[in-house]
Chain A
């Protein structure tokens, strides 16, 4: 492959933050640091009911008594929690009048990822004409949802409009003292998404944050709550494949999913936040708690994730299989390059009878990165005839990176079957030679092989994501092969 695009990628991922958003300190910003007053301030600013304030304060008091976990295979300088601004009203983006004003390097990355012109405009902050597609899409989209009775809005809006639902389900899957970062989020979360699918409704479109324009800048402590009522179905997409340039270094989000009887929720993520530069400086620390509960019988929750960004990823999307015959799935591709560190995996807690779960995790490490899979499969006494299959493969590109697998399996009954298998290997020289011989450059060959390797997971992604995700894999690994 020619040198130019390679340089562009390098520069895009390494260059200083220089376009797009601007920071206006005069805005509605709380002072640095975290204490009860800040939490009260957040709550007041958002005009929250008292119970939510109490929930936050309670979480804060638990957080102060907790210590940061150190068990993950991650190394980073200590985080100063008092050096963070916990509340800033959404900053207005500087609107550009056309794509010509956008950094050409960024555009080149977009093109490489195959992002449509309209989306490129939206992502780079170009003002979108009210008549053109995306807005009209949004309007028809909202109308469709409304007709079906689907509630889809920002979390703050939900607190005002549907306080009962929020109160009933908030913290019911991830309790505020679940872990250090969950407690922090529970205390200071600012916004996020809320989604409720009524009984028997099958959401006709893929719900995506893309359509919820006002939530584009939800900040670092995001809170998502998805409720699938009896017999409903929804496919939800988070994130996007375009490089996200975010100023907040620490991200601690919570996603809670509740699937009632016969409901199915499919959650897909593509995460491509700033991974830091080639020397491993900077980059996002991403500490996320994602958990779903199959509360009713025959319900299903499926997580699919493509993780290519962030300097540090600490994330274990989990499913609690409470209802009988419920199903949990986890499909993941995690790519780390340069000095990125990922410690990710899944937890499947089988409580109900005849519950089934599948874990497919594909890790790819390059450069000096470390990529770990950490998972737990637990079959409790009650989970008769539980079934789990886990497969965790790691691919190593280069001799400076690491790939690790920590599967925990606990079985407490005699009728469950748990299988785990994992392999670690590199791309064989034979495969590369074969491709080279047929005129495919080493870089393209690696892209090809990696995509084949990750195919099992990528095919789980909704169409909107799948094509971009494939390209993203190749882009993320560019320059990783000497």
Chain B
């Protein structure tokens, strides 16, 4: 059955591609048109990854490919007001917010906005024509689809997404928040493509939120390319809170130049099938990458974090830390890969993955992998799978704290390692609240999604008398 369904979906994609290629690639320059063609051929050969592929052996996509999805080539009407659909307000957190609805950039008809300091935010499709040089220089240069069927699929079919350009010597004070929403009346497959370029000596904080606002099935395949120029700093946050029927493939490719700094923090709170793939290439000496992640999954959810850090040149440092709590039937995968290339001497790389399993039905697969071809390096990794510390639990219980509360407190403390790394206070508080709510089981997505709309002024607190501890 599944086989047939998977064949069907590939056929449907092929048909969609041939039928709509003209409108899909309407604004392509010759290189991008060529890229599309090549990517489609690659996808045709590779297809959707199955569990026979090493990197997918623990994430079975067939469970979400056994149904049909619709594809969309028509842009969203620009008169849709995203605010009517969804609000994601963090108290006291002032952001420049942009919305992507069903894969299309939405901003009341204004497709590209240039701010006073030269910052450009807008639709990638519009940027194809408005900033041909930047697009030519960066688009499709980092996301390698040669052995990645989903990245190939995205490259072949993607039509729009967010384009951000920070010119040289510009520090963007206000964080940019990018909200990707799905609101389709049917099960849909969406290819979203983002391009973020940071010039030299610049700084940007980007918050990338993926949310659902209805209960339909969706399959979003995102490819984001980030170019971080010399001495620049990108603070990148990913917040994932989707319904249980959604599939989210989130591929991020980071090109990090000399003395540049990447700090990426992914928080996955809910979602049917989430796969985050991060590829960070430390391309100039003195660069640094921090890749952090937290996942809290329950029910039948599946989370997969693939992190690849490529130490291509000497004197770079990287730090990876992923933590997760899995309950019910949830399954988690962590696959970290640090590659230290020949001559990338004086590399310092760290990788760690810690997991807590709350239920006997939950499964975790972790594989922290080091591949090292240089000798003057300090690389280490660690992985643990365990439970809440029985002694700590006893300590709390002996002080009259209920089992549920003690458990929650310990889980919260476990997650706090990652949450505390968020450098923006307002955002950290907000995520902290979300994590608490999530741990209390209050965070579930309903049809109307009331979660974000009633943004509280009050911080969420555990109902625990701390004076006893």
Contacts and interface: CB of A to CB of B under 8 A. Distances in A.
B111 interface: no
A100 interface: no
22 contacts: A379-B385, A396-B377, A397-B375, A398-B375, A399-B376, A401-B373, A402-B371, A403-B370, A405-B369, A408-B367, A409-B364, A409-B365, A409-B366, A411-B364, A411-B385, A414-B358, A414-B387, A417-B385, A417-B386, A418-B383, A423-B380, A425-B378
A424 B380 contact: yes
Nearest to A424: B379
A415 interface: yes
Interface in A413-441: 413-426
A181 B262 CA distance: 45
A480 B54 CA distance: 35
Chain A at the B interface: SS class: strand
Contacts of B387: 414-415, 417
B358 A420 contact: no
A199 interface: no
Contacts of A470: none
Contact of A424 (B357, B360, B372): B372
Contacts of B379: 423-425
With a 10 A CB-CB cut-off, give which of A400, A406, A409 has the most chain B CB atoms. A409
A394 interface: yes
Contacts of B377: 396, 424-426
B224 interface: no
A420 B368 contact: yes
With a 10 A CB-CB cut-off, give which of A400, A401, A411 has the most chain B CB atoms. A411
Nearest to A427: B375
A414 B379 CA distance: 30
**Chain B interface size range:** 35 or more
A407 B383 contact: yes
Contacts of A51: none
Contacts of B90: none
A412 B363 CA distance: 5
Contacts of B375: 396-399, 401, 426
B308 to A, nearest CB: 14
B343 interface: yes
Interface string A148-164: 00000000000000000
With a 10 A CB-CB cut-off, give which of B358, B367, B383, B385 has the most chain A CB atoms. B385
Contacts of A402: 371-373
Contacts of A409: 364-367, 383, 385
A46 interface: no
A410 interface: yes
Given A399-B345, A414-B358, A414-B359, A404 B369 contact: yes
B363 A410 contact: yes
Contacts of A421: 380-383
B342 interface: yes
Given A420-B384, A421-B380, A422-B380, A403 B372 contact: yes
A404 B371 CA distance: 4
Contacts of A71: 54
B355 interface: yes
Nearest to B384: A419
Contacts of B360: 381, 412-415
B292 interface: no
Interface of B: 54, 58, 342-343, 345, 355, 357-360, 362-387
Nearest to A416: B385
B100 to A, nearest CB: 36
Given A421-B381, A423-B380, A407 B357 contact: no
B276 to A, nearest CB: 19
Nearest to A426: B375
Given A409-B383, A418-B384, A424-B379, A404 B345 contact: no
B302 to A, nearest CB: 14
Contact of A394 (B357, B372, B386): B372
A414 B380 contact: no
Given A401-B375, A402-B371, 10 more contacts: A399-B375, A404-B369, A405-B368, A409-B367, A410-B364, A411-B385, A414-B357, A420-B383, A422-B370, A426-B377
Contacts of B362: 412, 414
Nearest to B381: A422
A411 B355 contact: yes
A426 B374 CA distance: 9
Given A406-B367, A425-B377, A396 B383 contact: no
Nearest first, the 7 closest Cβ-Cβ pairs linking A and B are: A396-B375, A423-B380, A424-B379, A411-B385, A421-B382, A417-B386, A418-B385
Contacts of B372: 394, 396, 402-404, 424
A416 B81 CA distance: 50
Contacts of B343: 399
A72 to B, nearest CB: 12
Contacts of A381: 360
A245 to B, nearest CB: 31
A421 B368 CA distance: 9
Contact of A406 (B358, B365, B369): B369
B365 A418 contact: no
Given A398-B375, A399-B375, A425-B378, A405 B385 contact: no
A190 B386 CA distance: 45
Contacts of A419: 382-384, 386
